[in-house]
């Protein structure tokens, strides 16, 4: 590639030195553009639009048709009450009767209603056992209304369960794989009510950032205004950008949002170090910087070994007894290979990691070092403990 560029500039009549300089300028511009493009993200990947959101549905129902692996009615009174109520609605009178079936299980049904899902469309559901049922394999969910947070029914679920796990066993051994008390039903619920939200008729709308940041919020507003050509976007706080179509040439909010979500924005982030002390995981953000600091790390190891010995009396001796004599060996070792390392001012993520790795330390020792650097005031970042 380099030779082709040089040959091209030379054929245009440029001297060799100028051709080399022009080649370097072209390569630098190509590298800069690729780096800039890779660091930017689409607006739809870092923000959400008001009203375009999922809604959570939940319902209580019964699963029938189990092969003796359902709830014990004596231990799950809610299952018996639900079964009695269902039979009465179907015209079966079970008053003063003792039910002993093991083929029924009480379940909680959950689903996610996508935005703008229309009436009559189908969504997936998840069915989870509520009582002491052992297995939901082969069961069928009976008609179950699904409610949203406002208490209204938005979908009705019913269908044959699909269980990913299984449980088999005998008198001496049993095998369980996965969770056989949780199942799914693909397209198991029909939407009966639509969420009332007309996006196309709105003249103003808010964009919410998934990771609130003042700089990112302003960049989104600037990118939108530059694309539209009018000041239709304004950053109101770190997590919100307000769109206003009044006074602009754009009349349809849906068309505007379709264009905005494809705009490229370089999101900003604060310098943060996330530490999980239990698992030893360390995540260091790219903006983390360290002032000039010297670091030394050494480990002191104390090893105590017990090797008891047995002492026996001489053969044919009249006196004496066999006893256990303790023997303790103590070794103290200190790592002498670890030296003092200096991290210069303003080093970024790569230099910080390389400097700490040069000390030959593990993740847990690195956690202590990072906390010590922060305590010394040399770590210009926020430490977040999980």
pLDDT at 258: 86
**Residue 150, φ and ψ in degrees, nearest 5:** -85, 5
CB atoms within 10 A of CB 212: 12
Helix-helix angle 253-260:214-228, to 10 degrees: 120
CA pair distance 383, 369, nearest whole angstrom: 12
**Alpha carbon distance 364, 380 (integer Å):** 21
CA distance readout (Å), 213 to 45, 47, 111, 201: 15, 11, 32, 29
Write out pLDDT tens, residues 172-214.
666 766 788 899 999 999 999 988 777 777 888 899 998 888 9
For residue 124, give both structure tokens.
């997936």
Both tokens of 231, joined, read: 């000041």
**CA atoms of 373 and 291, how far apart (whole Å):** 9
Against a cut of 0.85, is the pTM above it? Answer: no
Residues of the chain with pLDDT under 50: 2, 5-6, 8-10, 14, 19, 22-26, 28-29, 31-37, 300, 302
- Digit-coded pLDDT (tens) for 335-368: 555 555 565 666 665 666 676 676 666 777 777 7
The token duo for 119 is: 């009436």
Copy the structure tokens of residue 181: 């008390």
Strand (E) or helix (H) holding 308: none
Task: Answer yes or no: are the C-beta atoms of 17 and 9 closer than 8 Å.
Answer: no
């Amino acid at each position: 590639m380099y030779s082709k560029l040089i040959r091209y500039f030379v054929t245009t009549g440029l001297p060799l030195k100028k051709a080399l300089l022009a080649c370097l300028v072209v390569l630098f511009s190509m590298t800069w553009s690729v780096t800039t493009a890779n660091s930017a993200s689409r607006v739809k990947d870092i923000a959400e639009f008001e009203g375009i959101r999922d809604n959570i549905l939940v319902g209580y129902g019964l699963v029938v048709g189990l092969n003796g692996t359902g709830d014990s009615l004596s231990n799950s009174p809610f299952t018996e009450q639900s079964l009695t109520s269902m039979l009465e609605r179907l015209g079966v009178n079970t008053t003063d009767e003792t039910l002993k079936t093991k083929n029924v299980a009480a379940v909680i049904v959950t689903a996610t209603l996508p935005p703008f899902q229309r009436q009559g469309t189908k969504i997936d559901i998840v069915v989870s056992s509520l009582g002491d049922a052992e297995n939901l394999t082969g069961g069928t969910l009976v008609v179950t209304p699904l409610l949203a947070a406002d208490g209204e029914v938005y979908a009705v679920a019913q269908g044959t369960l699909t269980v990913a796990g299984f449980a088999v066993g005998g008198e001496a051994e049993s095998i369980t794989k996965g969770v056989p008390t949780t199942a799914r039903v693909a397209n198991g619920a029909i939407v009966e009510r639509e969420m009332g939200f007309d996006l196309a008729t709105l003249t103003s709308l808010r964009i919410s950032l998934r990771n609130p940041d003042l700089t990112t919020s302003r960049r989104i507003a600037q990118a939108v205004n530059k694309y539209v050509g009018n000041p239709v976007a304004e950053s109101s706080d770190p997590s919100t950008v307000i769109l206003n179509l009044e006074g602009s040439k754009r009349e349809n909010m849906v068309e505007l949002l379709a264009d905005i979500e494809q705009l490229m924005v370089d999101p900003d982030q604060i310098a943060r170090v996330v530490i999980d002390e239990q698992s030893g995981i360390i995540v260091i953000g790219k903006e983390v910087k360290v002032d000039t600091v010297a670091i030394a790390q050494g480990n002191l190891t104390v090893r105590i070994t017990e090797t008891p010995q047995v002492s026996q009396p001489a053969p044919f001796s009249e006196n004496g007894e066999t006893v256990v004599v303790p023997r303790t060996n103590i070794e103290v070792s200190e790592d002498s290979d670890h030296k003092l390392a200096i991290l210069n001012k303003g080093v970024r993520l790569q230099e910080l990691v390389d400097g700490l790795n040069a000390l030959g330390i593990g993740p847990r020792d690195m956690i202590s070092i990072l906390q010590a650097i922060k305590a010394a005031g040399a770590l210009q970042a926020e430490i977040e403990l999980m």
